Amino acid sequence: MPHGHGHTTAYSAPPGPQGGEIYRLVLPNTSGAAKLSRDFVTSLLTFSRHCALVDDARLCVTEVVTNAHRHTRTSLIRVRVTVRRKQVTVSVADDDHWALPEPPAFREVRGEQEGGRGLLLVERLAFAWGMTVLGGCLPYRKAVWFTLTRAGATP
């Protein structure tokens, strides 16, 4: 399945809803958060007839939620899914804005191979992805987001 390579937009805001339907799931930061997020996204995409995106969405949301669980001290993980006719954007927010993941390109320059493979997977599968700090006052939230599109669709 072709993907839109070259559209990585690290450290930027996710696209706005633009008429899409928004679904939210708030989870405690436990080892079960990734599975619950995966099941949530699978149900939404199956219900909204985006079955072709389910496998990639499951892989990406698992990686991003697992990163939030392992590398932050957030008490809650917030998953937001925006479903549009030809694309889906998933955003995973935590309360630890200082723990911004490093974009894969920076890690490759330094020759580090351990860790961070999840973002390489997200970069490879997503049409676009990024990271942003949400909110102008305390508490801040950091979100890592990715957009998947149907084959041949241009958002």
Q: Are 22 and 80 in contact (CB under 8 A)?
A: yes
pLDDT reading at 17 higher than 70: no
- Domain positions in the chain: 21-149
More confident residue, 129 or 7: 129
pLDDT in tens, 42-51: 999 999 999 9
Please tell me the predicted confidence (pLDDT) of residue 91: 95
pLDDT in tens, 89-124: 999 999 876 655 555 544 444 444 444 567 889 999
Stretch 147-154: mean pLDDT, rounded?
78
| 58-62, 98-102, 133-137: segment of lowest average pLDDT | 98-102
Q: Are 127 and 148 in contact (CB under 8 A)?
A: yes
For 7, 90, 105, the CA distances from 99, given in Å and listed in that order, are 23, 19, 17
What is the arrangement of strands in the sheet containing 128-134, beginning at the earlier edge strand?
A: 21-28, 76-83, 87-94, 141-149, 128-134
What CATH number does the domain located at 21-149 have?
3.30.565.10
pTM strictly above 0.85? no
